[in-house]
Amino acid sequence: MRYYRQVFLSAFIVVAAFASAQVTVNTFEGIDASGFKGATLGVDPNGAIGTKQYMEWADFVYQGFDKSGNPVTPITVGDTPWHNNNMPDCYGNSGNVEILFDHLASRWIIGRRQGMGTYFYCIAVSSTDDLTTTGWYTYELSLDAILGQNSGNVTYFPDYPKIGTWSDGYYVTIDVEDPSNGFQQAGVLVCAFDRTTMLTGGTMRAPQCFRRLAQEPALAHSLEPADIDGTVAPPVGEPEYFVALENPARGQTTASFLNEGIFHVDWTKPTNSYFHWPLKINVEPYTQGCYFVNNPEQTICVPEPSTPLTGEPIDSVGDRLMQRLAYRRFTGTKPYQSWIVSGAVQVGSGPQSQTGVIWYEHRDIGGNHFGVVTYDDGNYRFMPSIAEDQTANMAVGYSVSSLTMHPSIAASYLNLLDIGPPTELTLWSGTGDEENSYHWGVYSSMTVDPIDDCTFWYVNEYFGNNQTGHEVSWQTRIENFKLPSCQ
């Protein structure tokens, strides 16, 4: 990818097929609300597979599992690494947490926002690749001065942070919102953190940040930073890339752009660092999932069997792309770089109709691809996360729900070098609904095992029984599978 290349250009529609008997799905229970005190509706399940174990985050806690599904650590309150290192600015649990595994360094990363009124972004880096013995190096960045203030001298609110691993830094993106205007989007903030020093537990160099306010902020927000899969680093000097959905303007039904950001950091001479945003990317027209023509940020329309009785559908979070923007560099006789990302879009003919999973791939050499995973079954597919194995197999996991199907977990896969219709796998069938809230997390997580570079690991939420009244009874499930073509 070069700095101003137009990406994600060609398009086609693909339809999910039924699951292949050749693929074995292994699954085990992850963190459940019943396993700790004080569980909330903010599930936001995500996690990452490492060299030895799987680490999951849900709500405000985390836990480690071995690769057979046995817990290897207790359920742990999320701010524990900062408590252990006496960093009170990062005490508490404000949510919006991501777990990553740095493939190039074999370390886990926890990224999270903290604070109410005074804000910090907090990062923990594991000291080893073994969750049973590791300590944590912890860091913080005070956000208030960087966020700035609105015309009423009220500090902007940092929302929906995302983090990505790159060879020259950990890159963080944050939505900048205006508390005085209904928390409407006001712009974006991006920061590069000193990965090299953080991996050693040393004193990091000052993060480098750029803030961009916008005239039409709701049209371009929630940047996804690229996150490396595999152990082949990007070319020396390759900048970090970001991508975001552009929502349809109010009163319009489709959009035909994505937004790209490019961040080059120079740790030796910070004045040479730059962030270009937004670079408009032409794509085939699309309508975001659960689209409301005069309120594109309202994305609640996914039905459950209980919806006709409760009037409570689920939020598709279709106004943004979902984590991760997965990056992989391929070597060999025809080397190239690949970036893939996914989201939810409308695939039915009417307003708030059936949703499908959209995916985009850009290759710096050899083409750009776009597809929608859907199926003529009336089911809504949403909340996806995507990854790519070492043989260019793409797998995207997601939630599935409808008036006749309890919210469940599925995935589809295809090979990006020989693209055909994807195959759908049922990963776990839910047996209950979330009757008392529209909030279905705000992301899930698909990652690739760094040992074989083939096995996909996915985590998402479901319900075993209907959640009603003031109950909080969500459950999470962790699945893994490997495609036969990846050896």
pLDDT in tens, the chain (487 residues): 333 233 333 333 333 333 444 899 999 999 999 999 999 999 999 999 999 999 999 999 999 999 999 999 999 999 999 999 999 999 998 878 999 999 999 999 999 999 988 999 999 999 999 999 999 999 999 999 999 999 999 999 999 999 999 999 999 999 999 999 888 889 999 999 999 999 999 999 999 999 998 755 456 789 999 999 999 999 999 999 999 988 887 778 888 889 999 999 999 999 999 999 888 888 889 999 998 888 878 899 999 999 999 999 999 999 999 999 999 999 988 999 999 999 999 998 877 899 999 999 999 987 788 899 999 899 999 999 999 999 999 999 999 999 999 999 999 999 999 888 899 999 999 999 999 999 998 999 999 999 999 999 999 999 999 999 999 999 999 999 999 999 8
In a domain, 424, yes or no: yes
In a domain, 1, yes or no: no
In a domain, 486, yes or no: no
Of 199, 158, 150, 164, nearest to 176 by C-alpha is 158
Q: Say whether 180 sits in a helix, a strand or coil.
A: helix
Predicted TM-score (pTM) of the model is: 0.94
- The end-to-end CA distance of the chain, in Å, is 28
Contact 172, 162 (CB under 8 A): yes
CA 366/CA 336 separation, integer angstroms: 8
In a domain, 86, yes or no: yes
Query: How many CB atoms lie under 10 A from the CB of residue 212?
Result: 18
In a domain, 3, yes or no: no
Total number of domains in the chain: 1
In a domain, 487, yes or no: no
Contact 239, 256 (CB under 8 A): no
Write down the residue that tokens 């036969």 correspond to.
484
Contact 279, 259 (CB under 8 A): yes
CA 59/CA 38 separation, integer angstroms: 10
Query: How many CB atoms lie under 10 A from the CB of residue 148?
Result: 15
Cα separation values, 344 from 296, 305, 424, 471, Å: 13, 20, 16, 28
Return the biggest CA–CA distance within the chain.
61
pLDDT at 313: 97
Q: The domain spanning residue 236 has which CATH number?
A: 2.130.10
Query: How many CB atoms lie under 10 A from the CB of residue 71?
Result: 16
Please, where are the H alpha helices in 134-290? 144-147, 195-198
CA 467/CA 154 separation, integer angstroms: 37
Asked whether the CA dihedral 337, 23, 440, 407 is positive or negative, the reply is: positive
Parallel, antiparallel or unpaired: strands 53-58 and 405-415: unpaired
Q: Which two tokens stand for residue 275?
A: 């962030």
Write down the residue that tokens 């597979």 correspond to.
49
In a domain, 7, yes or no: no
pLDDT at 218: 55
pLDDT at 443: 92
pLDDT at 8: 34
pLDDT at 345: 94
pLDDT at 117: 85
CA 43/CA 387 separation, integer angstroms: 21
pLDDT at 15: 37
Contact 481, 21 (CB under 8 A): no
Q: In degrees rounded to 5, what are phi and psi of residue 253? A: -105, -15
Write down how long the chain is. Answer: 487
Range of the domain at 393: 14-481
In a domain, 6, yes or no: no
Segment (H or E) for 302: strand 300-302
